[in-house]
Amino acid sequence: MRKRSVVFELTDEEIRAFWFSAPSFRKPGHSSANVKFDCIPIPAGVIEQGNVRNENVLSDILTSYRAQHLGDSQIAYLAIPLQQGFIRSYSLPWIPKRDRKSAISLLIDEEISIVRSDLLFDFLVLSEEKHKSLQVLLGATRQSLLERYVFILDQAGFKVKGVDFAFSILGQALGFEPNEGVLYLQGAFDSVQMALFRGTVPENVRSLPPLQRTLSPSSTEKNEGRVDVQTEEWAKEIRRFLLYYRTQHQDLDLGRLVWSGDSGVEFLAQGLLASNHVSTVEKAKLRNVPGSWQEVFEGISSWGEVAVGYGIRISAHHPVLNLWRQPSRAQKVQRWYQRMALLLLALFMSGTISWFSLYQMALPLQEEVQLLSREGTKIVAQGKGQKDLEIAWNKVMRSPRVGEGLAQIQGLQVLAGTELKIEQVVYKQGSMSLSGSAKEASSVETLIRTLRTMGWEQPTLTRYKLTTVNNVEFSLSAKRGQVGTKPVKTIENSAENTLTNTGASLEEEG
């Protein structure tokens, strides 16, 4: 998937825009022929030495330009002048990756005078030898300055994703060799910029003054010698600079001059070669330009080297400085809230998982508690029923009529002897039914006579069965006689409602 992006290079005279398509991931054949380069002129005084003097005018220019590219992506990269920034390479002892940011932070405190609250920085590892050495490129600028650029582009509809210095990009795009001293000249008839590179790092950048500031009014009257005079003045300025710089940096090995611009800059470069200040002169040429970009790049003036070089490194996913990588204050607050939200979400999720695990563990216990609760309820109910039965039994036993009848029933087992066994006696509301077994039929007859003698009325045999071993199983019923007795109270009748015991239990309860 490809995204359309744009690189803006901001200068005092114009805005240079380079449109290109870059894949989301690094892969071979990354380039696309869909590229475009524009130069947008801006009025004098809108930007001066890297400072925006008129935000409204610059915003209107960019907004108007954005309206011409409504269908394109809003992602933008910004190349800014070096006047308001700091860039330098450092050779350091080897530092593990996890400690590099804190070590660079200490280096910044020593090397950069910008207040921490207004500082944006980034670093790039140029080379490293594990456990031995580390070479880094450190860049920094003022946050207040950069925020103005980003704010203006944001108003125009461009979202800034990366910011780097123009000459830092140029050193990498031109492919200067490590530790190589290179003098770079860029310009046209009325202005020239000079940069001294050590490898890919610009160590000193200067703007040479235009002709009207260096020549006297009498000398400017001769137009035919104007170019030669201006070139000579620039050559003198460059020679003075090189002389001073070499006295301060005796290790500088300056052998090559690279120029970019019109014939005036080429003439100036050849003059420095003739004066033996450099050993070779060549025209600037970007390295690693994709083949599909060549046709478009050939039609671009030398002023497009920074924007195109930045686009090459981005589309190829090469490491670059990004001064806008550090978040602004608003972004820091937003990121803090996002982290807190993620933390709360993580706590909620972990709490939910823990609760669910505990719930799964507690579910069998809960079921067991419910089961025990039901069992306990049953036991309590049984205990209450047993207590009620004991109370009813005591009341029955204290009743003269019922107590006397039960005593007689209990005596039947004694009278029966070994020939007859009473297995069950039921006494309910004055009626008695009993069942048992006997070895002979005569024992059953004797029992019926005994019941009549004891005052039981209508003793009747309700069931009679002769077993295989000649035993007799029987059941009989009888009523309590009413002669000479008094009516039983209601409470006694309710207590007598159901009383069932075996003969053995009657003997035990006496």
* Highest mean pLDDT: which range of 304-308, 405-409, 417-421: 304-308
Indicate the class that CATH gives domain 1-174+287-326.
Answer: alpha beta
User: Is pLDDT of 1 > 90?
Assistant: no
Task: Output the furthest CA–CA distance in the chain (Å, rounded).
Answer: 170
User: Is pLDDT of 510 > 50?
Assistant: no
User: Quick one: average pLDDT of 166-178?
Assistant: 89
Residues sharing a CB contact under 8 Å with residue 315, sequence separation 6 or more, in sequence order = 20, 21, 22, 23, 30, 31, 290
Q: Map out the domains of the chain as residue ranges.
A: 1-174+287-326, 176-284, 400-509
User: Quick one: average pLDDT of 269-296?
Assistant: 85
pLDDT at 399: 65
Strands of 201-208's sheet, edge to edge? 201-208, 192-198, 181-187, 254-261, 280-283
Neighbour tally for 197: CB within 10 Å: 23
Q: Report pLDDT digits (tens) over 84-124.
A: 788 998 999 999 999 998 999 899 988 888 898 889 999 99
pLDDT at 394: 78
Q: One fold for both 1-174+287-326 and 400-509?
A: no
Q: What is the CATH number of domain 400-509?
A: 3.30.1360.100
Q: Report pLDDT digits (tens) over 173-226.
A: 898 888 889 999 988 657 788 999 998 889 888 888 775 544 444 444 454 455
C-alpha–C-alpha distance, residues 94 and 100, integer Å: 9
> Could you tell me the pTM of the whole model?
0.62
Q: Report pLDDT digits (tens) over 430-479.
A: 788 889 888 888 888 888 888 888 888 889 999 988 887 778 899 999 88
pLDDT at 414: 63
pLDDT at 345: 93
Q: Give the architecture-level CATH label for domain 176-284.
A: 2-Layer Sandwich (3.30)
CB 423 within 8 A of CB 454: no
C-alpha–C-alpha distance, residues 452 and 431, integer Å: 14
Pairing of strands 431-438, 420-428: antiparallel
Q: Report pLDDT digits (tens) over 32-68.
A: 667 888 899 999 889 988 888 999 999 999 999 998 8
pLDDT at 407: 67
Q: Report pLDDT digits (tens) over 336-377.
A: 888 899 999 999 999 999 888 888 888 888 888 888 888 889
Burial class (CB in 10 A: 0-12, 13-18, 19+), 28: exposed
Q: How confident is the model at residue 258 (pLDDT cuts 50, 70, 90)?
A: very high
CA-nearest of 17, 11, 9, 21 to 315 is 21
Neighbour tally for 257: CB within 10 Å: 21
Angle at 405 between CA 449 and CA 412, to 5 degrees: 45
Q: Report pLDDT digits (tens) over 481-496.
A: 754 444 333 333 433 4
Query: Cα 92 to chain center, whole Å?
Result: 35
Mean pLDDT of the chain: 81
pLDDT at 225: 55
